[in-house]
Amino acid sequence: MNYEIVVGLEVHCQLNTESKAFCGCSAKFGKSANTNVCPVCLALPGALPVLNARVVEDAVKLGLATNCTIARHSILARKNYFYPDLPKGYQISQFEEPICSEGLLQIDTEEGRKDVRLVRIHIEEDAGKSIHDIGDDTYIDVNRCGVPLLEIVSYPDMRTPKEASAYLQKIRQIVKYLGVSDGNMEEGSLRCDANVSVRPVGATEYGTRTEIKNMNSFKNVEKAIEFEAKRHIEVIEAGGTIFQETRLWDADKLETRSMRGKEFAHDYRYFPDPDLVPVLVDDGMLHRMQQELPEFPEDRAARFVSELGIPAYDAGVLTVERELADYFEQTLTVCGDAKASSNWVMGEVMRTLKEKYLDIAEFGISAERLGGLIRLINAGTISNTIAKQVFEIMQGDEASPESIVEREGLAQVSDTGAIEDAIREILEANAGQVEKYRSGKPQLFGFFVGQCMQKMKGKANPQVVNEILKQLLDA
């Protein structure tokens, strides 16, 4: 029997606010254990939470970006459960009245664009962290308690592990474009739980699902879903039963293992938090958040194609990351050459970022300096070959490209007399090759150009070299 995989994702996105969701403690990652805490984080008697307004604004922005209905009135609830790293004994979350609902986003699949529906986006605070790898004891770090999250819940609309990965990457791209999160999966800024089931192809009823946790990369999401779907099929084919449960993904063993029986929503005994007033989104806030939305990747790529004449593939690469697209446009503003800017950003810049494991914010060459380098090429001051040398120097030198060219004596030679002398020497030293060229082997022209550029250490003007070389060879 052939089976179809059914996948829905629950994504927790940590917001990059300065302070936590319900108190003034720092929300920054990586601080010493139990230092970013206060009576509210620790649930000390009498401590009252106050909602961070920025959390509401970020939730509305993400809802607008994913075509959600924004609730003008929503409430915060207590999600009750006991766990050692949860001092309150509950998380502040939303249940019956989420701030965003019924959204939609599109992902690119092998079959083309596909719609994935969103059930809801709601505000939630994070729990603490249990640390099990220090000796034989378990330690608790409550720094993360109260850190603001947005939980994004999809419908079970994905049918392959790759679709699930593409959806998660799309969520990451959107939150980064909005500037509400850094989307770092390794640090836990973006966490994903997958609900997986299988059913016979053509069936309309969903199978029993299991939830997978502990996936910290896009590849692990794919591998975990693939493994779990295969496990479901093997159990069913053997006459067994799939039980609804939560399972952990083991990236070392490439398998899932049972963690606990799956809780239903009513197990948490949600009820409205009596210490927090309802969340109200008025016309003013809604309008302001709409005005703050950025130009998203698809629209930006389309503009690059239509207005700048950039190939669609290049435009797609340049707009994957907002910071890279900004860098490209800033470079273009300086040099005025869209194609050259695209070639340099997609070529030398992205190669360097990959080799040195940098992001564009850490790159040592500003867009203004790169634009200046391209201007020197277009003005004929340096060749493309010399420009690559200058580019390498610029990575460890804050001087302008003009200063580097002057200091290093790299300006292009356009003196026809000097170039002609060099070419004549090359032709005399390669008389046999000249004879072959004149006997009907025009492909040797490139050989002579290369010899000339080598002799003049790459500083000869290629256009002048080509013109003079052709004249002398055809004479």
Are residues 83 and 205 part of one domain?
A: yes
Give the whole-angstrom CA distance, residue 243 versus residue 162: 25
Find, among 298, 417, 394, the residue nearest to 344 by Cα. Answer: 394
Q: Tell me phi and psi for residue 133, to 5 degrees.
A: -110, 25
| pLDDT number for residue 134 | 82
Are residues 355 and 433 part of one domain?
A: no
Q: What is the DSSP letter of 52?
A: -
Are residues 164 and 18 part of one domain?
A: yes
Q: Burial, 170: exposed, middle or buried (Cβ in 10 Å; 0-12, 13-18, 19+)? A: middle
Give the whole-angstrom CA distance, residue 36 versus residue 26: 6
Are residues 146 and 197 part of one domain?
A: yes
Does some domain include residue 279? yes
Does 86 have pLDDT greater than 70? yes
Are residues 68 and 208 part of one domain?
A: yes
Does 267 have pLDDT greater than 80? no
Are residues 188 and 59 part of one domain?
A: yes
Does some domain include residue 182? yes
Does some domain include residue 190? yes
What's 451's domain CATH number?
A: 1.10.10.410
Give the whole-angstrom CA distance, residue 403 versus residue 390: 10
Are residues 308 and 347 part of one domain?
A: yes
Are residues 446 and 340 part of one domain?
A: no
Does 71 have pLDDT greater than 70? yes
Give the whole-angstrom CA distance, residue 473 versus residue 475: 6
Per-residue pLDDT tens digits for 206-246: 999 999 998 989 999 999 999 999 999 999 999 999 999 99
Domain count of the fold of the chain: 3
Does 114 have pLDDT greater than 80? yes
Are residues 439 and 322 part of one domain?
A: no
Find the domain containing 317 and state its range.
295-408
Answer with the one of 408, 431, 446 that is the final residue of a domain: 408
Does some domain include residue 290? no
For residue 359, what is the enclosing H or E element? none
Per-residue pLDDT tens digits for 381-435: 888 888 999 999 999 888 999 999 988 887 766 657 777 777 788 887 887 887 7
Answer with the one of 217, 252, 285 that is the final residue of a domain: 285
Answer with the one of 390, 408, 426 that is the final residue of a domain: 408
Are residues 180 and 66 part of one domain?
A: yes
Are residues 198 and 324 part of one domain?
A: no
Are residues 106 and 22 part of one domain?
A: yes
